[in-house]
């Protein structure tokens, strides 16, 4: 996955365009599988930044930076952010870029 993260960062910089990973939990909520049925053993879910010590800000956390996965049964497919490599769950019908793997 590190190789993919480096490739996406280089190919899509300076933008952050999510890319489908071919990972989903459509079969059972929380059971993440690759399209070939292999179980996912590595996860890189996005985590919202921890608040800094000191007085709490009055504003709520940014709605686009929640901890992932956060979509429950509505978001079953996983995309990787091209800027930092973090994983986000999305609606599987969302149109995103994708990466194909070719056997040698």
Kindly report the pTM of this predicted structure: 0.79
Lowest mean pLDDT among 6-10, 16-20, 87-91: 6-10
In Å, how far from its chain's centre is CA 92?
12
The CA-atom distances, in angstroms, between 66 and each of 28, 53, 84 are 22, 19, 15
DSSP 90: E
User: Has residue 20 been placed in a domain?
Assistant: yes
**What is 24-58 written as a DSSP string?**
E-SSSTT--EETTSPBP----B--PPPPPSSSPPS
pLDDT 10s digits, 37-95? 999 999 999 998 876 666 555 444 445 668 999 988 999 999 999 888 899 999 999 99
Q: Any idea what the CATH number is for the domain that residue 95 is in?
A: 3.10.100.10
Count the domains in the chain: 1
Q: Domain range holding 27?
A: 1-49+64-104
User: Has residue 40 been placed in a domain?
Assistant: yes
């Amino acid at each position: 996955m590190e190789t993919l993260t480096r490739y996406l960062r280089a190919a899509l910089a300076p933008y952050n365009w999510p890319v489908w990973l071919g990972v989903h939990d459509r079969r059972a909520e929380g059971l993440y599988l690759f399209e070939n049925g292999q179980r996912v053993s590595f996860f890189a879910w996005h985590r919202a930044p921890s608040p800094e010590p000191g007085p709490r800000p009055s504003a709520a956390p940014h709605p686009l930076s929640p901890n992932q996965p956060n979509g429950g049964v509505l978001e079953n497919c996983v995309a990787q952010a091209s800027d930092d490599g973090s994983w986000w769950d999305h609606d599987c019908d969302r149109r995103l870029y994708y990466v194909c793997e070719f056997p040698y």
